[in-house]
Structure 1
Amino acid sequence: MPGTDAVISLERFNESHIDGITALYNDPAITRQVLQMPFQSPEVWRKRLESDNERVVQLVALHQGTVIGNIGLEQFSRIRRSHAGNLGMGVATAWQGKGVGSKLLAAALDIADNWMNLQRLELSVYADNEAAIGLYRKFGFDTEGLFRDYAVRDGGWVDALSMARLRRTPKAG
């Protein structure tokens, strides 16, 4: 079991991480908490990497070179929604509750706030994922709505919450 004092580094997702990302999201415990399909091939992630779009930032958390988490931040491309973006993340089961999610989320929020100038960040999270909901609330996300029967998981329908964080900028003068 990893310790809370383990050295975790963050890197931009690149070709060298494809096998690690594939393994992360093919873990059944992770697959059931995200919208990824099980048994994905590395090619799925390689195609996502091919897009050279500065509106998309993908980070990985590493421990001793092994991928233990991932976060994606995407700024919406529509002009009237370009002030907003969407987040999605996953953390290896053995590393949940050890600060990996906080480190990934803090880095993504820094990029969103200070480099992309995003005013609004949105995410969806399964309504029964209390740990993730708690993490998002800790970083200023509020629940905006309930998506009933949002997705199929383990052969049944599950609800999800719509959450968002608005960046409050001080008014000039």
Structure 2
Amino acid sequence: MVFAHKPVLPGEHVTLRPVGPEHVDGLWELVNDPETIRLTGSRGRPEREALKVWYDSRGAQGDRLDLAICTTGDDVYVGEIVLNELDADNLSCNLRIALIGPRAYGRGYGTEAIRLTLDHVFTTTPLHRVGLEVYAFNERAVHVYRKIGFVQEGVCRDALLMNGDWYDSVIMSILAPDWVVREI
């Protein structure tokens, strides 16, 4: 179980904490924010009680790591970062991140959360590859991923149908050796 240990990862602007029922109000705000919904291509709205059950169950999942992104100092929930889709045979997993909306955008929270997570993954686990997909219209996220060291591997054409329009999904990854030699 690669993610049996659920760490607290402190940073300068954010602290990553294992998600729990205490973060449900923030998750509720996140899944109902129109801009977050657009950027993630989300469909449907879960009920608040289902979110509580979901966050309460994440600690027992050894094949994934779900962390709340909380501001340092006042510990306010501003999003989540998740490592999931673990492929233990090939030492890889998927990364996804969502911030709570415009009040969390542009403050460096996502960049720091990704860096903290990747540093944890590549220094404490045997994982070799972390991949992700991002919609091509989310230029801010694509820029951040590239800045951190993710490399574009391909494009899934017309992967999302939203409001009658088709959008591509960009496939990116970062490898453990890339992380070790990156410019800090």
TM-score (norm 1): 0.83
Among all aligned residue pairs of Structure 1 and Structure 2, give the percentage whose two residues are the same amino acid. Answer: 27
Letter paired with 1:15:
P
Cα RMSD, aligned residues only:
2.2
1:106-136 Cα distance to aligned partner (Å, 9 max, x none): 1210221122221101000001111100111
Letter paired with 1:43:
E
Aligned twin of 1:90: 98
Q: Secondary structure at the match of 2:155?
A: strand
Question: Structure 2 residue aligned with 1:39, among 38, 45, 58?
Answer: 45
Q: Does 1:157 pair with 2:178?
A: no
Q: Secondary structure at the match of 1:95?
A: coil
Whether contact under 8 Å (1:144, 1:163) holds in the other structure is yes
Whether contact under 8 Å (1:28, 1:38) holds in the other structure is no
Task: Give the CA deviation at 1:154.
Answer: 2.8
Q: Secondary structure at the match of 2:111?
A: helix
Distance verdict in 2 for CA 1:147–1:97, change over 3 Å: same
1:89-120 Cα distance to aligned partner (Å, 9 max, x none): 11122221111001210121022112222110
Question: Structure 1 residue aligned with 2:84, among 66, 74, 81?
Answer: 74
Letter paired with 2:129:
R
**Which stretch of the first structure deviates more once superposed, 34-43 or 152-161?**
34-43
Whether contact under 8 Å (2:68, 2:79) holds in the other structure is yes
TM-score (norm 2): 0.79
Gapped regions of structure 1 (runs ≥ 5): 1-5
Task: Give the CA deviation at 1:40.
Answer: 2.5
Aligned twin of 2:6: none
Gapped regions of structure 2 (runs ≥ 5): 1-11
Distance verdict in 2 for CA 1:26–1:38, change over 3 Å: farther
Superposition pairs of residues 3-82 of structure 1, within 5 angstroms: 8-49=14-55, 50-51=57-58, 52-63=60-71, 64-74=74-84, 76-77=86-87, 79-81=88-90
Aligned twin of 2:5: none
Whether contact under 8 Å (2:26, 2:79) holds in the other structure is no
1:53-109 Cα distance to aligned partner (Å, 9 max, x none): 1221111122434321211012524x533x001001111222211110012101210
Distance 2:125 2:40 in 1: 25
Whether contact under 8 Å (2:14, 2:113) holds in the other structure is no
Letter paired with 2:102:
T
Q: Does 1:122 pair with 2:128?
A: no
Whether contact under 8 Å (1:59, 1:71) holds in the other structure is yes
Distance 1:167 1:109 in 2: 9
Corresponding residue pairs, total? 163
Whether contact under 8 Å (1:75, 1:85) holds in the other structure is yes
